[in-house]
Copies of this chain bind each other. A is one copy, B any other.
Amino acid sequence: MTGHTQRGQCAKRLSILEAAAEVFCNQGFAGASIDEIAAAACVSRQTIYNHYREKETLFVAVVEDVMNRANAMLFSMLSTFPDNADNLEDDLTAFVVRLNRNCICNHDGKFLRKLVQMEGERYPHLFESWRQHGPGKLTTALSALFARLAHKGALVIDDFDVAARQFVALGNADLQMTVLFGGMPTDGELEKAARNAVRTFLKAYGRPGPEKASPQPQLATVSG
């Protein structure tokens, strides 16, 4: 190894991280065994100890890895905000669908939620970082978006932060159980959930003006 190391290592590393994420997620930190991780990664136990000093080191590395992926995904999502106020309902709906699919209900989202619940108190620094870069970034960005839209007159909002948190909460309202048990909703469920969420959000915060926010005022909602 003459300096820039990585290559054969890299494949093994990724294999280990992936397998460890799976096993930690299913068994928890205490329940996960290094041997099981090694087997799942098709790697010898010693190789794991070669890369990570001990079980805890591996665990922290796994969490950081998943967090990085999740953060990158969130960041790429936040750059696709709807910025003009035409088609606001459809744009927001599409955003919620993608947010739920790519950040909340996906593999990494499930992993982080489980881990925060299970080991959050044991690694406060790790999960404080998650909070800031995940939910924190999301609500901050949403808050800014809503401020822009309110400035344009497309929304009527008194507290942008509250509205942002409520937006996220509404986006998950119909998926709570699926999400809690780790399932992935179907495309249809994602679509329905997002539509219900945005419809209610706009009923509460949409401009009351030209009666355009909700096209069919009294039609039955797509039920969950």
Contact = CB atoms under 8 A, between A and B. Distances in A.
Contact of A29 (B31, B131, B201): B31
A172 B170 CA distance: 10
A172 B131 CA distance: 17
A220 interface: yes
Interface in A119-161: 120-121, 127, 131, 135, 158-159, 161
Q: How large is the interface on A (under 10, 10 to 19, 20 to 34, 35 or more residues)?
A: 35 or more
B29 A135 contact: no
Contact of A173 (B158, B168, B205, B219): B168
Interface stretch (A50-58, A71-79, A82-90, A110-118): A110-118
Contact of A224 (B117, B161, B168): B161
Contacts of A173: 162, 165-166, 168-170
A181 B131 CA distance: 10
A62 B177 CA distance: 22
Q: At the interface, is chain A mostly helix, strand, loop or mixed?
A: helix
Interface string A153-191: 000001101110110111011101100111000000000
Contacts of A114: 117-118
A205 B177 CA distance: 24
Given A30-B31, A120-B181, A200 B204 contact: yes
A44 interface: no
Contacts of A118: 28, 114, 117-118
Interface of A: 26-31, 113-114, 116-118, 120-121, 127, 131, 135, 158-159, 161-163, 165-166, 168-170, 172-174, 176-177, 180-182, 196-197, 200-201, 203-205, 218-221, 223-224
19 contacts: A28-B31, A30-B30, A113-B117, A114-B118, A116-B180, A120-B181, A121-B181, A127-B181, A158-B218, A158-B221, A162-B173, A162-B196, A163-B200, A165-B174, A168-B173, A169-B172, A169-B176, A203-B204, A203-B205
List the 4 shortest-distance A-B pairs measured between CB atoms, nearest first. Answer: A30-B31, A169-B173, A203-B204, A159-B221
